[in-house]
Amino acid sequence: MEYFIKTLLRYLKNYNMVTIKLTLCLLCVVMLGGCSLKPLSGFAIKKDCTDSHYSNIDITSNVRDNPVILVAPVNQIETFSPNNLWDRIRIGLGSNSYPKNNDIDKEITLLATNKTALQQLSARAIWYLYYIVEEIEKRNLPMELAFMPIVESSLDSKATSPVGAAGLWQIMPYTGEHLGLSKNKWYDGRYDIIEATNVALNYMEKLYDIFDDWELAFAGFNSGPSRVKSAIAKNKLNNKPTTFWYLDLPTETYNYVTKIIALSSVLKNSKDYGVNFGFLKNSPSITYIDINNHIDLEDIAHESATSINTLVKINPGLLRQITPPDINYKLVVPVEKEHIIINKINNNVIKDIYAKSNKYKVRKNDNLIKIAKKFNTTPASIKEVNKLKTDKIMVGSKLLIPTIKGYNSSASSSKSNTNKAFTINKSKYYHSIQKGDNLHKIASKYNIEISDLITWNKYLATAKYLQIGQKVLIYK
């Protein structure tokens, strides 16, 4: 031990204090053996498990009566870089043992032979994975949870499944609502890196409390806890084992848990499998600023010399690239831009959208269509920014006239993206003009406002007459 410490101190002379502290912390983790972590329990196996590493283990006994835990092969000496997040994750996996079966072996083989794909993970992980690892460690959760968003979405923060699951963690709409994630026309918390990660980990903690088994918790996250409970109850009724590998669960769920275990095993034993995950810096790339203002990402990008594409990528929950009104929002920014952006906001260089809006006093004979035309915007935009429920406006009242893209996208970008900001999750219809039709009659028929009709059909703002057979676009 004395020789080891002297050698370590000689090694650390060449590194800065941050690196020294990190290395000592990681050393403590290794020495403690993960005793403070919630154990990664419940790894039973299937009967068909075979592997040359475990030729001395008797697998001929009845596995259902005597579940076996197989320990993944341990490397003799691993090269460790305190600057590489993958190494931090590897150490976080500690001495956790994994089952081995034919399906896990197949996944491991696929991963080990697709080395390019594993290295590409670092490129996608640069913005997200450090934050996820930090949160996992803060909660003393198993590091295997860091592989969940990799399996769920391949670390694509804008991923959406055919059934409606969204974001890094692929959270379904109902689940997001149940877990407290906000969703409106400005914002969808399921895509939010910070909020979705927090609720996903909260959910995993709850699932572990329910099942006392991480494999079952993974299964519950994928297919729902009720389905897992039903499968357990069915096995109990038939006097069968109730560990994950024996449950009658969807193939997708089985594959999901299998992939998490395979990824964990491959990273933990990357040298044995001849895999190089590449380099991923072990320091934050992002941080967040609490925002109460209604701010355009393009303004932030311009004033802080930050790529708008970067801001959009790390704030995928913003559906219109504008921070939502009336709620506190955690604006995610590159860590090196944090203080610049805070100063610009505090000094009113980056302004609230409402502060940038024109102010207009309603005059006699005014209506929303007339005012919108005057300011090159739309009636719907004026209604939205002023929170008007109908088209009625009072003479002498003051209106805010929006001047930025979040409200005016349908006026300024109609050629390329007609009214997209105002038609999210709506179905498109065409009404054919019939004899006796007028705008009021059409709006009443479809329970919409006249201003909406004009927003969706620009020609109606200047048309003197409606022509029979003419098509009117309607969103419902």
Asked if 82 and 223 sit in the same domain, the reply is: yes
Task: Quote the domain boundaries for residue 53.
Answer: 33-273
Instruction: Answer yes or no: are the C-beta atoms of 71 and 97 closer than 8 Å.
Output: yes
Q: Please tell me whether residues 311 and 349 are part of one structural domain.
A: yes
Tell me the CA end-to-end span of the chain in Å, nearest whole number: 72
Nearest to 404 by CA among 313, 321, 460: 321
8 Å CB contact between 200 and 178 = no
Residues 382 and 237 in one domain: no
218 and 151 housed in the same domain: yes
Judgement on whether residues 234 and 366 belong to the same structural domain of the protein: no
Do residues 153 and 159 touch, judged by C-beta distance below 8 A? yes
Q: How far apart are CA 70 and CA 97, in angstroms?
A: 6
Does residue 9 lie in a domain region? no
Q: What does the pLDDT read at residue 422?
A: 41
Q: Would you state the pLDDT for residue 420?
A: 38
Measured between alpha carbons, how far is 203 from 209 in angstroms, rounded to an integer?
10
Chosen domain end from 246, 273, 300: 273
- Quick one: which H or E segment has residue 400? strand 398-401
Q: Are 468 and 434 in contact (CB under 8 A)?
A: yes
Tokens of 376: 């090159």
How many other CB atoms sit within 10 Å of the CB of residue 172?
Answer: 15
Q: Which of 335, 354, 373 is the last residue of a domain?
A: 354
Spell out the alpha helix ranges (H) of 244-367.
Answer: 251-268, 270-273, 297-304, 308-314, 338-346, 353-356
Output the pLDDT for position 162: 83
Residues 99 and 200 reside in one and the same domain: yes
| Domain total of the chain | 3
User: Count of alpha carbons within 13 Å of 111, Cβ hemisphere only?
Assistant: 29
> Nearest CA to 372 among 439, 461, 456, 457?
461
- Check residue 384 and give its pLDDT: 77
Q: Find the CATH number of the domain harbouring 176.
A: 1.10.530.10
Is 307 found in the same domain as 164?
A: no
> Based on C-alpha coordinates, what's the Rg of the chain?
28
Domain check: are 71 and 182 in the same one?
A: yes
Backbone angles phi, psi at 170, to 5 degrees: 50, 60
pLDDT at 423: 44
Q: How far apart are CA 304 and CA 306, in angstroms?
A: 5
Residues 337 and 381 in one domain: no
Q: How far apart are CA 414 and CA 378, in angstroms?
A: 11
How many CA atoms are closer than 13 Å to the CA of 54, on its beta-carbon side? 18
Residues with Cβ within 8 Å of residue 250, at least 6 apart in sequence: 223, 227
Is there a single domain that holds both residue 263 and residue 375?
no
State pTM to two decimals.
0.67
Q: How many whole angstroms separate alpha carbon 298 and alpha carbon 219?
A: 41
Active site residues: 152
Domain end call among 238, 273, 308: 273
Q: Are residues 384 and 348 in the same domain?
A: no
Any domain includes 28: no
**Is residue 149 domain-shared with residue 67, that is, in the same domain?**
yes
Q: What does the pLDDT profile of the chain (476 residues) look like in tens digits?
A: 444 444 444 444 444 544 544 555 545 444 444 444 455 544 432 223 333 222 222 222 223 233 333 333 333 334 556 799 999 999 999 877 888 889 999 999 999 888 788 878 888 899 999 999 999 999 999 999 999 999 999 999 999 988 889 999 999 999 999 999 999 888 999 999 999 999 999 999 999 999 999 999 999 999 999 999 999 999 999 999 999 999 999 999 999 999 999 999 999 999 899 888 889 999 999 999 999 888 989 999 999 999 999 999 999 999 988 898 777 899 999 999 999 999 999 998 888 876 666 778 999 989 988 888 887 788 887 887 787 888 889 999 988 887 655 554 333 333 333 343 344 445 677 888 888 888 778 877 887 777 678 778 877 766 667 888 888 888 86
